[in-house]
Structure 1
């Protein structure tokens, strides 16, 4: 269906791809992964509109290939004043009306031949989307997404997560040859994430989906393409097997690289000795041995292990508050209410201690973001912050905390940094090189913007963090780095999240919003609720065991203990086989 061969492309200040190649076959569900800012969305833009870009290499696609597209940023359409059915069936309704109009016109027109031709074209298009069964198909997919009760609702009344699922259904129902989706999972609650998984798995056609969601990656794909360090690797198989193959390769290549380094160091010592002899006794020393050794060294350096998919850029997120407060009440919320067209929260109350780490969960559109914004602004009669608390805020609406028109340098200069070199050194730990210092923030990817928010939030040294979907847009490596930072943080955290892993790995408890009220829940009860309502308990426990083993392997590699790493890898292989041999069937809420 799609073939890219030796494609290279660069921005003015950044190289994106160096002779990358891959193919996409009919019926494949392909996950497109890679660290933030590697150019995944740009490559999708090139596929969608190759004439717009000046690239080297070739892109071949069936000229009749019809593409369905779901963007990560498409909330403007949500303002349309039409029903869910009218929105999904827009093309179907248009064709139906066109056929009816032609039939009416044929009753009085003398130019029957022209009308018959138009009628046949419209009928062919109608049949191509199985028009006779279109409403049944819409109902089937709405049921699959648990949205049948919204069929006659207005689009503008849907939550962001519900609207995203509606967009996915709309893209699928026109029977495109290829569906491309750019992070369709962002901001979805547990229920809607499960619905998205069901929709993807129900589709028989070809899909290319950018995602960093670990749950979807483990459950929805039979091909992986991985863009990293200007290069691309393709893997026919699921994400679990791909990740395992990367780990095996990493162990093998790191061991070879260690041997290479040792040989280079031994050769360097010998070269230095020969140079000393040549300096002390230049007349009798002919230099042939030295020149030969230098050439050997050059060959050793040239053949050094090059592994773009193993040497993955990992960020270091450092969250350290200036003022650490011992056990004390940091936040009081008393009889808080919020309403827009309807009441979302009514007379809710809770407290947060200075060292508490609490997740807020609830279905999309239940008032979570409004609550956390009101806490940050601290001008609501029902909200009281301790005088010792300094708050930092990460927003899911990124331009609330960073300015698109600023360069990265300007943003951090405005945040209180004094010099260019100070900013350069600081942001380098968050994955931004010097060449990006003068890039406009508006040109960054969603993941890069979120990482920039985290860098700015970290520099504030605040002792309370308000985080609204902090893992959204982040690649899987950055998600793990954020988890480490949250676990090590010594202040209080209030975090809106639908990322199961971040909640169970980092939080002490959960505040769940249901029926306009908030109740507190332990992590143990939260796990139990997720197991019974959404995901499979055995799968999540096996996934946790897998992660624990992977951590042990990483520690063994840091210690250059390759024997232990290989032994643990054999143990991990058993878990991988278990995960692949079991059909995990999450229950629907």
Structure 2
């Protein structure tokens, strides 16, 4: 379907790819993974629109390849009065209307040949979309996604997550044989994530998806493309199998590297000893021996194993230490209500104590972000943030907290950093380094922007963090670093999240949006509810064990305890294969 051969491409401030090659076969469901800012979205755009770019190498598409694309950003007209069915059938109805219009023209035209060509093109398009069955196909897709009851619902009444799923469904219905999804899971609640999983698994064509979602990675894909540091690793198999293979390969390379370094050390010692003897004894044979050994050493140095490709960028995220105050209320919400056309939240009341970590969880479109925005404004009569509390926020709105026309360096300079070295050293911990400092914020990837926002609030002395989807767009290893930072933070945290792992690992309790109010729920009860309603309990528990094993393997690698690494890798492989 797609072949990429020795592709190289760079921006003025950043090299993205260095002779990367990979292929995508008919019918494969491929996950495209990699660190934030590694160039995944750009590479996808190059495949779809190669003529936009000046690159070296080749991008070869099969002649039959028809590409559909769904963006990570679901943009819509809130006043749109189409129903769900009308939206999904739009392209089919347009084709039928155009065909009727051409037929009417042909009936009165003197020269029908050019009109007949248009007519035939429309028919071919209709056939390629399986147009004769479009009504039943739409109903089938809605049924698969568990959205059949929304068929006659107006688009303006849908949540953002539901609308995003419709965008994906619309591309699937057009029978494109290659569907490209860019972070389709971002901001989806648990119900819509489950629906997305069903849609992907029910799709018969070839699929390429950029995603960092652990649940999708483990349930929807049979091929992995991993982009890191300008290089691509290609793996046919599931994500769990890939991770096991990756860690075992790292162990093998590490062992080979140790053996090589030992041989290099011995050869260097011999060269030094021969040089000393050659300076004492004027003997041509000794001189030849020195040259021969030096040549051997040069070869060893030239072919020594590089750092394993799988040395992943793992950020060190830490919030500044603060002290929790016993039984001290940092935020209170009393009889808060919000409505637009309908009431979303009604008579909401809760308190957040110093040191508590609380997650607001609920379906898309239930007023959570509006509540957070009103808390941040801190001028609503129902909301009070203690005046003695310093607080910081992470917002998903691009125009808040950050000027996208400034470079990363300028943004950090405005925060009080005095030298380039101090900025570089600070951002290096967040894996924002090198060329990223020269880039304008608007040119960063979604994940890099989120990382920059996290770096900004981590530089404050905030005793309260208000976080709106803090792990969105972040790669898996950054997500885990954020989880660790939040769990170790001593201040109060109020966060909106659909990230099950973040909630389960960090929240003291959950405020669940239900029947237009917030229901307080213990984290353990929340986990059970998620197990029962959305995900498989056994899968989530096994996945948690995998994460724990991978953390132990990472630590063992750092301590060069390779026998321990091998033992842990075997355990991980055993769990993954069951």
TM-score in terms of structure 2 length: 0.94
- Label 1:556 to 1:334 Cα distance change in 2 as closer, same or farther (>3 A): same
* Mapping for residues 337-486 of structure 1, pairs under 5 Å: 337-486=337-486
Q: Counterpart of 1:302?
A: 302
How far, CA to CA, are the matches of 2:339 and 2:266 in structure 1?
72
Q: Counterpart of 2:62?
A: 62
- Label 1:338 to 1:293 Cα distance change in 2 as closer, same or farther (>3 A): farther
- Label 1:132 to 1:489 Cα distance change in 2 as closer, same or farther (>3 A): same
Q: Counterpart of 2:545?
A: 545
How far, CA to CA, are the matches of 2:487 and 2:289 in structure 1?
56
How far, CA to CA, are the matches of 2:508 and 2:266 in structure 1?
51
- Label 1:123 to 1:133 Cα distance change in 2 as closer, same or farther (>3 A): same
* Mapping for residues 31-50 of structure 1, pairs under 5 Å: 31-50=31-50
Q: Is the 8 A contact 2:69 2:181 kept in 1?
A: yes
Q: Counterpart of 2:198?
A: 198
- Give the CA deviation at 1:384: 1.6
Of stretches 64-73 and 307-316 in structure 1, the one that deviates more from structure 2 is 307-316
Q: Is the 8 A contact 1:246 1:309 kept in 2?
A: no
Q: Counterpart of 2:489?
A: 489
Q: RMSD of the TM alignment (CA)? A: 2.4
Q: Counterpart of 1:226?
A: 226
How far, CA to CA, are the matches of 2:206 and 2:256 in structure 1?
39
Q: Counterpart of 1:100?
A: 100
Q: Counterpart of 1:583?
A: none
How far, CA to CA, are the matches of 1:10 and 1:91 in structure 2?
37
**Aligned residues between the structures:** 577
Q: Any idea what the Cα deviations from partners look like across 1:260-312, whole Å, max 9, x if unmatched? A: 34444555566667778889x69899766665555444433333322553112
- Give the CA deviation at 1:491: 1.0
Q: Any idea what the Cα deviations from partners look like across 1:384-441, whole Å, max 9, x if unmatched? A: 2223321111112233122210101110111222222211111111112233222111
TM-score in terms of structure 1 length: 0.92
Q: Counterpart of 1:516?
A: 516
Q: Any idea what the Cα deviations from partners look like across 1:196-226, whole Å, max 9, x if unmatched? A: 1111111100111111101000000111111
Q: Is the 8 A contact 1:327 1:355 kept in 2?
A: no
Gaps of 5+ in 2: none
- Give the CA deviation at 1:522: 0.9
How far, CA to CA, are the matches of 1:290 and 1:333 in structure 2?
80
Q: Is the 8 A contact 2:322 2:490 kept in 1?
A: no
- Give the CA deviation at 1:89: 1.6
Gaps of 5+ in 1: 579-589
- Give the CA deviation at 1:12: 1.0
* Mapping for residues 99-178 of structure 1, pairs under 5 Å: 99-105=99-105, 117-178=117-178
How far, CA to CA, are the matches of 1:465 and 1:261 in structure 2?
47
Q: Is the 8 A contact 1:231 1:308 kept in 2?
A: no
Q: Is the 8 A contact 1:375 1:383 kept in 2?
A: yes
How far, CA to CA, are the matches of 1:220 and 1:367 in structure 2?
30
Q: Counterpart of 1:584?
A: none
What secondary structure sits across from 1:521 in the alignment? Answer: strand
Q: Counterpart of 2:245?
A: 245
- Label 1:111 to 1:533 Cα distance change in 2 as closer, same or farther (>3 A): same
Q: Is the 8 A contact 2:408 2:439 kept in 1?
A: yes
